[in-house]
Amino acid sequence: MNAPVSPSVQTFDATGATPVMQQFFDMKTRQPDALLFFRMGDFYELFFDDAIRAAAALGISQTFRGNHNGQPIPMAGVPHHAAEAYLSKLIRMGFKVAVCEQMEDPAEAKKRGSKSVVRRDIVRVVTPGTLTEDGLLDARGANRLAAVAIRAGQAAVAAVELSTGEVECFSTGKEGVGALLAALSPSETLVADRLLADDHLAQTLKICGGLIQPMPSALSEPQASETRVKRLYGVDTLDGFGGLAPAEIGALGLIAAHLEMTQAGKLPALRAPRRAAEADVMSIDPATRSSLEIDRTQGGDRNGSLLAVIDRTVSAGGARLLAARLSRPLLDPAAIDQRLDAVEWFVDHRSLRERLREQLKGAGDMARALARLALGRGGPRDLACLRDGLKTGEKLAGMVGGSGDPLSPPPAELETALAALTPSLHQGISQLLNTLEAGLGPDLPALARDGGFVAPGVRPELDQARSLRDDSRRVVAALEQRLIQEAGISLKIRHNGVLGYFVEATAGKADPLFQPPLNATFIHRQTLANQVRFTTVELADLDARIAQAAERALAMEVAAFEDWRAEAVALAAPIQAAAEALARLDVAAALAEWAEDAGAVRPAVDKSLAFEAKGARHPVVEAAVRRAGDPYTPNDCRLDAAGDVAARLSIVTGPNMAGKSTFLRQNALLAILAQSGCYVPAKSFRLGVVDRLFSRVGAGDDLARGRSTFMMEMVETAAILTQATPRSLVILDEIGRGTATYDGLAIAWACAESLHDTNRCRALFATHYHELATLEERLAHVSNLSLRAKEWNGDLVFLHEAADGPADRSYGVQVAKLAGVPPQVVARAKEVLDRLESKTESPAKLDDLPLFAAAAPVMAAPAVLAPSVVDAALKDLDVDGMSPREALEALYRLKGLLKT
């Protein structure tokens, strides 16, 4: 989303306004910070500043309409049938839009007097977090409205997905808000305005809160909040939600207030809040989430993320559930196992899985259809979506329940889903299903008011009105034949919204109709360039009868729709449960499908502090490498925070491009996949649950950020060192690289020691400081790993193989050669390196290293290398011919030259 646009609040002097403008001013005063879409006939018009801003944002023309206080009124408009596309664009740009509709037919208004104005009202305020239309939403992604509240030092984040009715509520400490928001990735976040004075919180919200809506602080006060939440759920007490904490009520209260304000009194069908404490889900801070590219890449694309690679779901609800699971891995091994049982069952029942996935494709998005119906924005197609979803559910329940394999009955996770999908277990649902199956015809319009969707034979009165209408149409056809005979010229009976039915003749041939005797029958109505239009007494009479019958038929259809809608909304809870059950089946089957495609295995998750991966792969890099026709090298990784069966901390070395970052990330992704209840791409994987995952990936990986991020890197490192527990998993990639060599080495060294001694967590620490390899001898639970490369006929070959022990050397010069650094520079670098590596020329050996001493080591005497190594290397650089990556590497090389 683009940077949110700050609302511009205008003040108006309404004196002397025309009645319509007066109405506009009234509406605008009610929603001063929203663009007002003011319905006038077939258009939504915008006026004054709104018109100017919307015209600029949408690239539509801005005109003027009349005057106000002697000034022309700026105006811009969008046709109502195309409004959704414009709305979508405005919302994406961060605008808020208030939709003001005509609440009556203009004819009704006329009855009150010729000067009276059509009644209008704001029916909805559209904000990013309150969208429900398919056209405005990504079907496979959630669209959440979040709220943050803090009470007595305790924080809560609540989130509602209005388009499916899902509500979640999390309690956390103040510092946990960022991780929760990053996991929820809301498109809009409500927060009491006084909390924005807290810089840290304001910054967190800015990074992961979507559009921030400051709310008057009074709205999150306990009493007001509680009353609003009760009203939202239509309950007398909140006890049924299991003792919500004051901060949770505050956050839900803000959501309730925002919904009241934006939905113009329509109540959404919300589910009871699903609550989770920080202790239930793996905490992944925003920086880690972004660097691991879980549901989107660092560039913001879904493609190339972990989610995109493993997602084999076939329904929108399934896709959303998988995304939610992957963004919030669980901590309870039993709950994780339940999910894994379901996946395993589908791995074992392949043909059933294939049939089930085929059925699921046609199931539609029940959750979103129901939400639209509840908010009065649904139509006959949404009812059909419920019908099809429930029907599919019934079929699937039969299919899975009757799988006929007594030795391997469906596990608990699937059993619960099946129960929610068996209509006979819920009388209301089977009744609704019968009603909709019998009631909905084959051709369904988007809106009930377009009619034609109620099947014949369902409502006798409707059938009567329809046959009257259709009979009359046959009479019209007969009348047309008679009039042609009578007039002796060719003519047609046509219909339009203004004239109703009329007779149309070509202008050149219409003369006789104006002459006696025909002018006694044909009454002139309209002359166009090529046609002349008439009516007859008989036709006018027929027109009235047809219009009446059609009107009655339509009214009956709309009434039928309302009945069915109400029946469905009253069954919101079981329908939502069925929708979720379909999503669960889809996710379990899809993960089994992926497991088979990717050769993934079931992980063993327990309460130990171990991490034992054998033959593991990075799912995203593997896919990319294979696409390029290369093989991917699987790797093992063993850690144990207790230090019993493996080291707690592994120092990972190896040349540039050897695969260090990939190895680190791969292991973090295994933990996420396993705790989300997914199979993992490995030969085997045993994991003691990880409570917090931290990843600090080197600044050098991103040129654009690399220059000024040493501070950022240190802030993130500080967070890790203060927050990681013995149950956490930390991956640190090239920490300390963005500063002077000795500072960097000292910081890296101290961090490694602290992780080992104080945090005592499992950690992988990739570094170019080979000096850190000696930690293995100095600390009890440290091991060395290296990603291997070897020289072959003067070239460097990357093996991507993680082996015990440190890297023998860094091969920086060879990598420079591979990267296309000019041969003379490479040759010179080799020469310099040889000298530096010879004992006599290299004074800075680690054993002499005065770690943490204030004095920096003295540079080697430059005399032998006069004028200077750096001068020479600089001179040879072809700066204009370098890519950014080559430039960065050259810079490091130059810094490397300074090292000694």
Ligand X SMILES: Nc1ncnc2c1ncn2[C@@H]1O[C@H](COP(=O)(O)OP(=O)(O)OP(=O)(O)O)[C@@H](O)[C@H]1O
| Closer of 94 and 654 to ligand X (Cβ) | 654
291 binds ligand X, rule: CB under 6 A? no
Binding-residue pattern over the window 680 to 719 for ligand X, x denoting contact by CB under 6 A: ---------------------x------------------
Nearer Cβ to ligand X, position 339 or 800? 800
- Residue 656 CB, shortest distance to ligand X, in Å, is 3
Q: Is 632 in the site for ligand X (CB under 6 A)?
A: yes
Closer CB to ligand X, 759 or 786, in the complex: 786
The CA angle 643-649-654, to the nearest 5 degrees, is 140
Q: Which helix (H) or strand (E) covers residue 480, if one does?
A: helix 460-487
Q: Which of these ranges, 96-104, 220-228, 580-588, 660-668, lies near ligand X under the rule CB under 6 A? A: 660-668
Name the minimum Å distance from CB 703 to ligand X: 12
Q: Which residues are bridge partners to 803 per DSSP?
A: 786
β-pairing, 97-102 vs 145-151, is unpaired
Q: Which is nearer to ligand X, 112 or 705 (CB)?
A: 705
Q: Binding pattern to ligand X, positions 637-656, x when CB under 6 A?
A: -----------------x-x
H-only helix segments in 293-379: 306-310, 316-327, 333-348, 350-360, 366-374
Complete DSSP assignment for 192-221: EGGGGGSHHHHHHHHHHSSEEEEE-GGGGS
Q: How many CA atoms lie within 13 A of 694 on its CB side?
A: 27
- 656 labelled ligand-binding: yes
Asked whether residue 661 is marked as a ligand-binding residue, the answer is yes
Residue 54 touches ligand X, criterion: CB under 6 A:
no
Shortest gap between Cβ of 887 and ligand X (angstroms)?
14
CA–CA distance, 387 with 381 (Å, rounded to integer) = 10
User: Smallest distance, Å, CB 633 to ligand X?
Assistant: 4
9 token code pair = 């609040």
Least separation in angstroms between residue 331's CB and ligand X is 29
| Residue of 296, 349, 696, 800 interacting with ligand X (CB under 6 A) | 800
Nearer to ligand X, 425 or 797 (CB): 797
Segment interacting with ligand X, rule: CB under 6 A, options 133-141, 339-347, 627-635, 856-864: 627-635
Nearer to ligand X, 426 or 617 (CB): 617
Candidates 625, 703, 849, 882; binder of ligand X (CB under 6 A) is 625
- What the block records as the tokens of 669 is 């992704």
Alpha-carbon torsion (531, 537, 540, 546), positive or negative: negative
| 657 in contact with ligand X (CB under 6 A) | yes
Sign of CA dihedral 883, 886, 890, 891: positive
Please say which residue, 658 or 668, places its beta carbon nearer to ligand X. Answer: 658
Q: Are 668 and 585 in contact (CB under 8 A)?
A: no
Q: Tell me, by CB under 6 A, how many residues bind ligand X.
A: 16
- Check residue 475 for interaction with ligand X (CB under 6 A): no
Smallest gap, in angstroms, from Cβ of residue 363 to ligand X? 38
Q: Is 660 annotated as a binding residue?
A: yes
Any binding-site annotation on 508?
no
Instruction: List 72's β-bridge partners, or say none.
Output: 67
| Residue 748 Cβ vs ligand X, minimum distance, rounded to whole Å | 14
The reply, when asked if residue 655 is annotated as ligand binding, is yes
Looking at the Cβ atoms of 398 and 884, the one nearer to ligand X is 884
The burial of 175, by beta-carbon neighbours within 10 Å (0-12 exposed, 13-18 middle, 19 or more buried), is given as middle
CB of 658 to ligand X, least distance (A): 4
Residue type, 605: V
Distance of closest approach, residue 657 Cβ to ligand X, in angstroms: 5
Report the 10 Å Cβ neighbour count for 120. Answer: 19
Backbone angles phi, psi at 12, to 5 degrees: -120, 145
Distance between CA 428 and CA 421 in Å, rounded? 13
Q: How far is the CB of 800 from ligand X (least distance, A)?
A: 3
Question: In the complex, what is the shortest distance from the CB of residue 310 to ligand X, in angstroms, rounded to a whole number?
Answer: 18
629 annotated ligand binder: no
CB of 662 to ligand X, least distance (A): 3
DSSP codes joined into one string, 29-48? HHSTTSEEEEEETTEEEEEH
The residue type at 206: K
Task: Decide: is 659 part of the binding site for ligand X (CB under 6 A).
Answer: yes
> By CB under 6 A, is residue 660 in contact with ligand X?
yes
DSSP 760: -
Give the per-residue contact string, 30-49, with ligand X (x = CB under 6 A; - = no). --------------------
Cβ burial of 473 (10 Å; 0-12, 13-18, 19+) is: middle
Q: Tell me the window of 214-222, 320-328, 629-637, 706-714 that interacts with ligand X (CB under 6 A).
A: 629-637
CA distances from 137 to 207, 212, 308, 376 (A): 22, 19, 18, 18
Per CB under 6 A, the list member of 633, 650, 783, 784 interacting with ligand X is: 633
Measured from the CB atom, the residue of 580 and 734 that comes closer to ligand X is 734
Sheet with 795-804, edge to edge strand ranges: 283-284, 692-696, 729-733, 762-766, 649-653, 782-792, 795-804
Alpha-carbon distance values, 576 to 246, 358, 470 (Å): 27, 22, 40
Q: Is 28 in the site for ligand X (CB under 6 A)?
A: no
To ligand X, the closest distance from the beta carbon of 322 in angstroms equals 25
Q: Are 499 and 526 in contact (CB under 8 A)?
A: yes
For the chain, count helices (H), then strands (E).
31, 27
Tokens (6 digits) for 321: 């559930």
Cβ proximity to ligand X: between 396 and 787 the closer is: 787
Closest approach of Cβ 41 to ligand X, in Å?
58
b/e per residue 854-872 (b: at least 16 CB within 10 A): eeeeeebeeeebeeebbeb
Whether residue 395 is annotated as binding a ligand: the answer is: no
Using Cβ positions, the residue closest to ligand X within the complex turns out to be 659
Residue nearer to ligand X on the CB measure, 172 or 662: 662
The site string for ligand X over 840-879 (x = CB under 6 A, - otherwise) reads ----------------------------------------
Residue 745 exposure: Cα atoms within 13 Å on the Cβ side? 23
Between 190 and 890, name the residue whose CB sits nearer to ligand X: 890
Tell me phi and psi for residue 344, to 5 degrees.
-60, -40
Q: Which of 164, 374, 366, 121 is nearest to 266 (CA)?
A: 374
> Counting contacts by CB under 6 A, is residue 658 touching ligand X?
yes
Task: Show the site string, 604-623: x = touches ligand X by CB under 6 A, - = not.
Answer: -----------------x--
Peptide bond into 517 cis (omega under 30): yes
Cβ distance to ligand X smaller for residue 601 or 658:
658
If the CB atoms of residues 240 and 629 are measured against ligand X, the closer one turns out to be 629
Residue 723, interface with ligand X (CB under 6 A)? no
Show binding-site residues for ATP: 654-661
Applying CB under 6 A, the residues found at the interface with ligand X are: 621, 625, 632-633, 635, 654, 656-662, 701, 787, 800
